A and B are shown apart, each in its own frame.
Chain A
């Protein structure tokens, strides 16, 4: 069974902390994505990576960075967490042959 695994289901962090969200996929996919989901706004793309060490900004990259040192792992970094980054974060992956995205279970992040 193919899998995208996010390291935490729920996370509570303090304002100003540096936060790492980890995502691992076991499908040997080239593409990996980080989305943010908020009520009424749907899924908004933060960053994506189409190969190891490659990254591109999505629609809302401000306040975030990413790291992809290995093909299977894609990390989202909140450099200095703020309360407006409280949200559900979804990781996804896809291969270069088709565009179907496979999603992780999501991380509900609360910044207090």
Chain B
């Protein structure tokens, strides 16, 4: 069965520091991978997605993620965190189109210290 693991429930970083959020997945077919961000009280917004091709993908707000098939990972990174990045981040996996649905991890809450 498909599953997504986000090992870190809560991460705290200082503003300006680098960030890496971990995501591991279990999926039988070629995975489509996503990172979403949720600000408090809001819905989820797509940060980036990977379908195929270059394994390093760029997203909005200066985020990037790298797909590593051998490690079944899709970690999210940002070189320098801003206070406005404080939010909850969700990794998700699915397959190509059709009636497929996404499977989400349980999320990582990011706190940014001034």
- Chain A: CB-nearest residue to B31: A99
Which of A14-22, A36-44, A62-70, A77-85 lies on the face that meets chain B? A36-44
Contact code string B32-60 (vs A, CB < 8 Å = 1, else 0): 10101000011111100101000000000
Residue numbers in B under 8 Å from A103 (CB-CB): 36, 43-45
Size band of the interface chain A makes with B: 20 to 34
Interface size on B, residues (CB 8 A): 27
The DSSP consensus for interface residues of chain B is loop
Smallest CB gap from A9: residue in B: B41
Q: What's the Cα separation between A93 and B41 when bound, in Å?
A: 19
Of residues 78 through 105 on chain B, the ones whose CB sits less than 8 Å from some CB of chain A are 90, 92, 94-102, 104-105
Determine whether the beta carbon of B49 is less than 8 Å from that of A42.
Answer: no
* A98 x B97 contact (CB < 8 A): yes
Q: Are B97 and A95 in contact (CB under 8 A)?
A: yes
A12 within 8 A of B: no
Query: Which residues 1-30 in A have Cβ within 8 Å of B in the complex?
Result: 4, 30
Q: Does A48 contact B (CB under 8 A)?
A: yes
- What's the nearest-Cβ distance from chain A to residue B106, in Å? 4
Are the CB atoms of B99 and A90 closer together than 8 Å? Answer: no
In the complex, A86 has a CB within 8 A of chain B: no
Residues of A within 8 A of B98 (CB): 50, 96
Is there contact, CB below 8 Å, between A43 and B43?
Answer: no
Q: Which chain A positions have C-beta within 8 A of B49?
A: 100
- Besides the contacts A45-B101, A101-B92, what 20 more A-B pairs have beta carbons closer than 8 Å? A30-B99, A41-B106, A43-B104, A51-B99, A90-B43, A94-B102, A96-B99, A97-B97, A98-B32, A98-B51, A99-B32, A99-B34, A99-B94, A99-B95, A99-B96, A99-B100, A101-B102, A102-B46, A105-B43, A106-B43
**A-to-B contact residues, CB < 8 Å:** 4, 30-31, 33, 35, 40-43, 45, 48, 50-51, 58, 90, 92, 94-106, 108
What are 10 A-B contacts with C-beta separation under 8 Å?
A35-B104, A40-B9, A42-B90, A58-B101, A96-B97, A100-B49, A103-B36, A103-B45, A105-B42, A106-B41
